[in-house]
Amino acid sequence: MALIKTPDEISAMREGGHLLSRALKAAMDAVTVGATIAQVNVAGEQVILDGGGTPSFKGYRSHPEDMPFPSTLCISVNEEIVHGLGNRDTALKEGDIVGLDIGCWYKGLCTDMATTVAVGKADPEHAKLMEVTRASLLEGVKAARVGGTIKDISAAIESSVKPYGYGIVRALVGHGVGHAVHESPHVPNFVSDQYPRVEIQDGMCLALEPMLGLGGRHEVETGEDGWCIVMKDRSVGAHFEVTIAVTKAGVEILTPLPV
């Protein structure tokens, strides 16, 4: 697969990204007291299918021997930071914090995005966590430029979060996207020498996705279902994500975050 996307490919990703944004909005609107996780999943999935797209998470396997992911959305509640199964009949409760992660194929190209919302009225601490996570994502977007490096994005996200003392999940990072659900390069939300220096080139498409824990720790563990990733300290987490295209003309968010 090519790391760089052509203008025509970026145009197709833009179309798919706007479809994905509408699907995420439908899922957000379905997050209400008493709604089940499965009902939220169906709301988002239907928009993708009606728009001519194909869910990219449903049936996804990390490795050929793994169990395929069963739903269109990853729906993660409270201490579940990512990869919560979207086919559960669990009813949402007032005050729950719900992460909605969604991806789709459209015209042969893939986009990816996520948001975190409250069920009903959010606890002020949880509302602040969501606000800071979203803001850190947008700081990362602003730091992306042709000729810069992935490290510039990582540093912008990390420095945005640092004053608040939240834990930045380190086991999971952003990534390239377009020809596959996950492509090179890794895009960490923190600065680390464990990742190679990668210069941002004209036509790179990246999924930026900070994941923060309220408890100030970064450690996570995998749940019994083999998919859901949970904050090890069981603190509430938040996750926001957009797909961007970086060209000589600037940075474009291909998957606008719904409000």
Summarised one tens digit per residue, pLDDT across range 32-91 is 999 999 999 999 999 999 999 999 999 998 788 888 999 999 999 999 999 999 999 999
Kindly tell me if the per-residue pLDDT of 110 is higher than 90.
yes
Question: Integer distance in angstroms from the first to the last C-alpha of the chain?
Answer: 34
Any idea where the domains of the chain sit in the sequence? 7-253
Identity of the residue numbered 163: P
Token output for 114: 């996520």
- Top CATH class of 7-253 equals alpha beta
- pTM tops 0.85, yes or no: yes
> Residue for token digits 């380190």?
170
Give all strands (DSSP E) within the chain, no chain letters. 54-55, 73-77, 80-82, 97-106, 109-118, 167-168, 174-176, 183-187, 204-208, 211-213, 220-222, 229-231, 237-239, 242-247, 250-253
- pLDDT for 82 equals 98
